[in-house]
Homo-oligomer: A and B are copies of this chain.
Amino acid sequence: MNTLGAMTRRRLINLVGRAGGASAAYATMSAMGMMPIPAAYAGPPALETGSGYGKEVVILGAGIAGMTAAYELSKAGYDCTILEARGRAGGRNMTVRAGDMLVEQDGQQLVDFDAAPHLYFNPGPARLPYHHQGTLGYCREFGVALEPIVNDNRGAFFQNDGAFGGEPIRNRRIVNDSRGFVSELLAKAVNKGALDDELTALDREQFLDFVRRFGDLDETLMAYQGSSRSGYRVPPGSGMLPGEKIAPIDMAELLKSDFWQFKLYFGEGFTQGATMLQPVGGMDQIAKAFESRVGNMITYNAEVTQLRREGEGVRVVYTDATGAEHGIEADYAVCTIPFSVLKSLDADFSPAVSEAIEACHYVSACKAAFQAERRFWELDDQIYGGISWTDADVTQIWYPSGGFHEPKGVVVGAYIWSDDIGNAFGALPPGERLAKVVSECQRIHPSFGDQVTGGVSIAWHKVPFSQGGWAEWEDESRAAAYPAVTKPDGPIYFAGEHVSYLTGWQEGAVLSAHDAVRGISERVVASR
């Protein structure tokens, strides 16, 4: 164990501290890499004003990556053109509201919500981790208002048909009874002397105290007998109501469920832990903020049909809304088209790049959302935002983190990111998808179906110009194929979440666009 193995190192630091005081200890720790270092993000590229003058860049795609590139390059004087296949900017960053259409390759769905600021649905990205400072930096710069999005809610439910008789169990019980269970067993092992070798460096009584508090064990018995952390059968109240703790769950049942496989620690993930944020009023506030700055560079409804190197530069052919063909030449291209789409493009990429494009897998992610005529999750279940989990195909129910106590709300009834389930779900006609979602959500909220209207769904692998939720590099293709697209293919630079280790996050789009911008700028400056 690194943690116990580190004790020699720690002892050394203590000696330094005793001899040289705290500041000497700090300096030594720092030198030994034992101190936190500042977050790596150092802001967007700082290109010299006018350094791009006279250079043309064609940017393929007005998603977050494309608009980031256009915004930064144009500030330095580059002449940017963005070709966007859709009639709107943002790409997978989108928010739908009353009257919007969700388009898939074989049909479209009308968003039949009431018109109100809080009645929206983010079919694509919906949350921002606190450390995604590239994206958050633009929110700050552009004045996009943010609010917390509740991700991990101790009051939400876990439900699994194979455990606990299929009954939904509160998150707080699963999480805290697990801790109690783990602590009790560990305390037993310590008291049996089974870990004496491992604990030589620690004060045994203190360690047992730590274990007891970790799981809220009974102080005398060192046994887990339930904890107020898991909630109450009868909550404490006024007068003569001290409350009655709820009995612990059966750990054998827990092991029958899939809760412990990842749901139990979902909220501890680096990209999922508090504080998670969202733009007030919908994720597209970010896209709109970019669009208001680079919209004049965007040609909408421009579907790229050909991408070729021409001399030192590039030539792009695209069709407009009427089907008419146009050509555009530029010194450089920033290609943000998802590889799921790019692989079918007529292009003259190098073999290594073509191989990477082919190797990149896209997730068949799906979501569905409804307008609820009554916020039953708040009124009946005291759930304010966050996620309930089920082993049914819908996987998750997301409750809104805004509009609390409004009469109505939009609830996400399915968020699927397994290819098999997503492909099957996407193959259903929209009405059947919704019927399935209602039926599965009723395992958690029995009256779900009676309280929702206006459902809408999305299967990202069927969305034109996206053809997938996000990129996923398997270990092998990450090692062998991926590196090729992190470098330019002649004058063509690649950007987008797929050109990052932050796939599925807008931060990957932002940071990879910064890389492309820096790459172009360095080349241009060097050539002057």
Residue numbers of A with Cβ under 8 A of B are 1-4, 6-7, 9-10, 13, 17, 22, 25-26, 29, 33-37, 39-41, 130-131, 133, 136, 139-140, 143, 145-150, 152-155, 165-170, 172, 175-186, 188-189, 192, 194-195, 198-199, 201-203, 206-207, 210-211, 213-214, 216, 223-226, 228-243, 246-255, 260-262, 264-265, 268-270, 273-275, 277, 382-386, 401-402, 404-405, 483, 486, 499-502, 508, 511-512, 514-515
Contacts and interface: CB of A to CB of B under 8 A. Distances in A.
Given A182-B186, A265-B214, A277 B404 contact: yes
Contact of A240 (B254, B405, B486, B508): B486
Contacts of A238: 486, 499-502, 508, 511-512, 514-515
29 contacts: A1-B224, A3-B181, A3-B248, A4-B251, A7-B250, A36-B169, A36-B246, A41-B235, A131-B231, A131-B382, A143-B405, A146-B405, A147-B402, A150-B275, A153-B275, A155-B273, A182-B214, A202-B252, A202-B255, A203-B255, A207-B255, A214-B264, A238-B511, A239-B511, A240-B486, A242-B501, A243-B501, A275-B384, A277-B384
Contacts of A255: 202-203, 206-207, 210
B402 A261 contact: no
A156 to B, nearest CB: 9
Nearest to A206: B255
A140 B403 CA distance: 11
Contact of A210 (B139, B146, B153, B260): B260
A250 B148 contact: no
A10 to B, nearest CB: 5
A345 to B, nearest CB: 22
Of listed A250, A261, A502, A514, residue having the most chain B CB within 10 A: A250
Q: How many copies does the complex hold?
A: 2
A195 B188 contact: yes
Nearest to A193: B194
A255 B275 CA distance: 26
Contacts of A189: 185-186, 189, 194-195
For the complex of A and B, 9 pairs with smallest distance between CB atoms: A194-B194, A189-B189, A238-B511, A154-B273, A236-B501, A238-B512, A238-B500, A275-B384, A239-B486
A118 to B, nearest CB: 11
Contacts of A508: 238
A9 to B, nearest CB: 8
B22 A166 contact: yes
A239 B473 CA distance: 13
Contacts of A181: 1, 3
A10 B172 contact: no
Contacts of A274: 150, 152-155, 274, 386
Contacts of A26: 165-167
Nearest to A262: B213
A405 B3 contact: no
Contacts of A251: 3-4, 202
A229 B33 contact: no
A62 to B, nearest CB: 19
Given A213-B260, A213-B264, A172 B386 contact: no
A29 to B, nearest CB: 6
A210 B181 CA distance: 11
Contacts of A228: 269-270
A224 B185 contact: no
Contacts of A237: 40, 500-502, 511
A253 B10 contact: yes
A63 to B, nearest CB: 15
Contact of A2 (B22, B224, B233): B224
B483 A240 contact: yes
A183 B240 CA distance: 40
Given A247-B2, A270-B229, A277-B404, A211 B198 contact: no
A176 B274 CA distance: 13
Contacts of A241: 500-501
